[in-house]
Chain A
Amino acid sequence: MKENRGRRTAIPLFLFVEFFLLGLAALPATAQTAQTGNVFNPNISVIGNALGIAGHNTVDTQPNLQLKESEIGFQAIVDPFARADFFVTFGSEKGNVGIEEGYITFLTVPGEFILKVGRMKGAFGKLNTEHLHVRPFADVPLNMTNLLGGDDGIEDAGVTLSRLIPMPSEIFLEATAQLFRGTSENLFEAHTRNDVQPLFHLKAYRDLSEAANLELGGSWTRANNLEGPGFRTSLTGLDATFRWKPLRQGLYKSVLVRAEWTLSERETPGGAVRADGYYVWGQYQFGRRWFAGLRHDESDHAEDASLRDRGNSLVLTFWPSEFTQVRAQARRNRYARPEASVTATELLLQLQFAIGAHGAHPF
């Protein structure tokens, strides 16, 4: 991958300045740039995500078959100081195009900080930071749908600063501070330039043994919500992940248990609404390419904490190769509604495939 990473060429401003400052002397350099243009092109990857759903659901009314999301990634080293990552996503409907993330990362900031600038995912818990294709289920759990705005969660233009905090006993501790514009789909809306959204995340990790490890995280953010100017929502999150993968049999056997809890404190004209939700996910790998998982999720509605949705899922994932993934998820959700609760039993079938540059494995 590193061989392909390099500086993007043909930057008009750069050429413009070069021509004017160096005059004719710049010509050989330009000719050379043209020849090596492909070398410095970013790594390109495309990930497709086809989703089929069978069963009756009047609350989550996704179609029976869709190419839910196609993600195109462009990733390259910018210069000796930074790298850039762009992820353009195409939704299931025509014209539904967006920059999921697009940021520059400065890796050599003094003080051992890592600085990111652009549009990025909020470092809120685990699931919120993950792209659709690395999530271990075909949907998102109810606390993400009800309290974090849906599939994409907190995702906005902003700045991220993160630093390792020295700790004894080989504990990894990383503090992340983000400052966003304050607008996230279905969740936050900034009305003035002062409506910024701060987000803080602390991640602690330790190897328990060669095979097992534990990761704990805490997140907090606050921004103006959709009720109008002056009404804010505070979100607090806790996450814990336990992993077990014996190195000698690591190709065939592993366990992952994860839980995320979210608390939403939402200001509304009628008073504050305090709603919470969580999911617990356990996954067992029982073959080189086979994974089975169970999930329980439940969550209040952010607007009405007296309504609590509950769900259970059974997930089976098969990887024909490292680049394709077939997943079946049997899901039974009980949606609380003021009039009467609705139960939906569905089968979700997901096929994901990746072409292009080999990305890093998620952890």
Chain B
Amino acid sequence: MKTKNERLLRRVIGLLSFVWFLLAFPAEAKKLKVVTTLSDFASLAQTIGRDRVDADSIAKGYQDPHFVEPKPSFVLKLHDADVLIVAGLELEIGYLPPLLDQARNEKIRPTGLGYLDASVGCDILDKPAGQVTRAMGDVHPYGNPHYWLDPSNGRVIARAIAAKLTALDPAGAADYARNLADFEAKLKAAEIRWAARLAPFKNTKIVTYHSSWPNFAKAFSLDVVGFLEPKPGIPPSPQHKLEIINLMREQKVPLILMEVYFDKKDPDFVASKTGATVVVIPPSVGGEPAAKDYLSLFDVDVEKIVSALEKSALEKRK
């Protein structure tokens, strides 16, 4: 009796393993592996691809995207990738070229089918006119690479991702189209929501730490009048802090906006001299736990800015 049961059990296990192998394994293997430099693109790719893709980013949302270390573990990620989505505009110049050279994966090289430069078709600001020299600091000669912080650029990127996924996985075309339409509908609703939240603060003057927010400011009608960094990539000097303090007093700037990865000491000092509020906001998905995807990133950022401005307006009235 015991042996009969055992035999039955073995057969059941064998059959289950076979079914698992047939069903689970090929389904797992079919998923497109998407590697992105920024977490924002990974979030968009996951939103568009859902269960047909596995998206992962190299940089984390709370790290400075200019200074990512070219770790060999990223080589392994890129080696197995079907799709690579980059910000372009030389944002990744310090780490991506050597990683790609070592990845031994032709598909995701700039000439490969799996390569997607997300900046194509986006509204790119701060393109330097005239001669570019490093006397201007660490400038990006092709324009400001923080363009994903404009939701309408997010729409362009999402469409490009859907097109890329469709090209690589035609069987999923209908899924990608449906997911994109779904995302665009949610984005449209969110844009109305964000605009309404920020409507009372239209054209508010702000100072930012690094020049990361021109697209964000344009999208949400904020006016960036200065930066804590004297030049991109150069930390605030005493002289420059003084200039910024004077400028903020003159123009009555209520807000200093900074990313989660900068030191808060200098912004706090300037704020203490000017009465402005320092708002630390995530510049990318995952920059803080609440910013879990592309849309909630803006929810978090908009909410933090609005509550700081409301508080500052309230104090002024007092």
What band does the interface of chain A fall in when counting residues whose beta carbon is under 8 Å from B?
35 or more
Residues of B within 8 A of A2 (CB): 97, 110
Residues of A within 8 A of B79 (CB): 164
Residues of A within 8 A of B62 (CB): 247-248
Residues of A within 8 A of B101 (CB): 83, 105, 107, 114
User: Are the C-beta atoms of A114 and B104 separated by less than 8 Å?
Assistant: yes
Chain B contact residues, majority secondary structure: loop
Instruction: Select which of A105, A215, A360 is within 8 A of B70 by beta carbon.
Output: A360
| Segment touching A, from B162-170, B196-204, B255-263 | B255-263
Chain A interface (Cβ within 8 Å of chain B)?
A: 1-3, 80, 83, 105, 107-108, 112-114, 164, 170, 172, 174, 203, 205-207, 210, 213, 215, 243, 245, 247-252, 288-289, 321-323, 355, 358, 360-361, 363
Cα A243 to Cα B72 with chains together (Å): 13
User: Are the C-beta atoms of A112 and B60 separated by less than 8 Å?
Assistant: no
Cβ-based interface call for B93 (8 A): yes
Cβ-based interface call for B172 (8 A): no
Known contacts A108-B106, A205-B71, A251 near B262 by CB under 8 Å = yes
User: Are the C-beta atoms of B261 and A360 separated by less than 8 Å?
Assistant: no
Expressed in whole angstroms, the minimum distance between the Cβ of A281 and any Cβ of chain B is 18
Pick 25 A–B contacts, CB within 8 A, sort by A. Answer: A105-B101, A107-B106, A108-B106, A114-B102, A114-B104, A164-B104, A170-B73, A170-B76, A172-B76, A174-B72, A207-B71, A207-B73, A215-B72, A245-B69, A247-B63, A247-B261, A249-B261, A252-B263, A321-B234, A358-B93, A360-B97, A360-B98, A361-B69, A361-B94, A363-B71
| Segment touching A, from B134-142, B178-186, B245-253, B307-315 | B134-142
Cα A172 to Cα B75 with chains together (Å): 8
Expressed in whole angstroms, the minimum distance between the Cβ of B269 and any Cβ of chain A is 15
User: Are the C-beta atoms of A321 and B69 separated by less than 8 Å?
Assistant: no
Expressed in whole angstroms, the minimum distance between the Cβ of A290 and any Cβ of chain B is 11
Residues of B within 8 A of A172 (CB): 72-73, 75-76
Residues of A within 8 A of B233 (CB): 321-322
Cβ-based interface call for B67 (8 A): yes
Residues of B within 8 A of A363 (CB): 69-71, 98
Q: Which residues of chain B (74-112) have a CB below 8 Å from chain A? A: 75-76, 79, 90, 93-95, 97-98, 101-102, 104, 106, 109-111
